[in-house]
Amino acid sequence: MRISFCCPSMESQPWLEGLRAALPQAEVAPWASGAAPADYALVWAPPQQFFDEQPQLKAAFNIGAGVDALLPLRVPSKTVLARLEDAGMAVQMAEYVCHALIRHFREFDAYAEQMSLGQWQARAPHMRADWPVGIMGLGVLGKRVAKAVAAFEFPVLGWSRSQHAIEGVRCYAGQAQLDDFLSACKVLVCLLPLTPDTRDILNQRNLSRLQPGGYVINVARGAHVVDDDLLALLDSGHLAGATLDVFHTEPLPDAHPFWRHPKITLTPHISARTLRQETIAQIAAKILAFEHGQALSGIVDLQRGY
């Protein structure tokens, strides 16, 4: 069995060593043009040339939950594509979203400013019942985030392309129920995959439907947001603020207005990092399952975009 590693932006050696330890029976090597045919591959933003030169691949495993970098590529029809399922990312995402939510709900930024001025003053508390939190995207990560938010006793709503039933979450589905979902939300968390249907979904029309004083948390992809629309709604006061971890261009350009906006909190795409050992263990288990003719979970449908 031969495994190819094609992740141009990552340091390959720790991954190669980990894969060799997890699958000692396999030959594991970094991909370079002209490399020998492989049975399996680990990929992250691979070039088209990789798939052109490896048409015999049985399966390629995306090192991450988002597969938008694969959508423009021509993947051999017989190659199965699989994405990561959790691998340590779900709990990180839940931490991040809950931190951003509670930081805003409890007004900790305002307290930090007061303390810097030497002011000792309690602020009037908010009622959780008045702060329904909507989760857009109810995959593995979205469900984990919804569960974590519900543990803090916020009302939780969920929206996705297909219908879900999640205990403690009021679920909406499809375009027909999107407006009802948005108008019921005070806080909106985006965890959607990036597809042609979801690109620019956080736009003037949709964000305007959030309750007045709404708050946006985007931990999915920067291309979900129409930047100018978000800025206009923040400046008008309809939105009280936003926490953004992902952007159209990364790193965020120095001149981008997000850097200087007082209602925006930024982080450098760190809401859920790929954990190498957990990822290797998951992919190694899937390769062995595939070798034994077992069905794989996390299969990517390129037509749907996730």
Q: What is the mean pLDDT of the chain?
A: 96
Strand partners, 5: 30, 42
- 306 within a domain of the structure (yes/no): no
- Cis peptide preceding 8, ω within 30 of 0: no
Q: What is the CATH number of the domain that holds 116?
A: 3.40.50.720
- 300 within a domain of the structure (yes/no): no
- Give me the catalytic one of 170, 199, 269, 276: 269
- Give me the catalytic one of 221, 248, 273, 276: 221
Residues of the chain with pLDDT under 70: none
User: Are residues 112 and 261 both part of a single domain?
Assistant: yes
User: Are residues 104 and 182 both part of a single domain?
Assistant: yes
- 171 within a domain of the structure (yes/no): yes
Q: Give the range of the structural domain holding residue 163, as residue numbers without chain letter.
A: 89-266
pTM summary value = 0.92
Active site residue 269: yes
pLDDT tens figures, 200-226: 999 999 999 999 999 999 999 999 999
For the chain, what is the domain count?
Answer: 2
pLDDT tens figures, 50-97: 999 999 999 999 998 889 999 999 999 999 999 998 889 999 999 999
User: Are residues 55 and 160 both part of a single domain?
Assistant: no
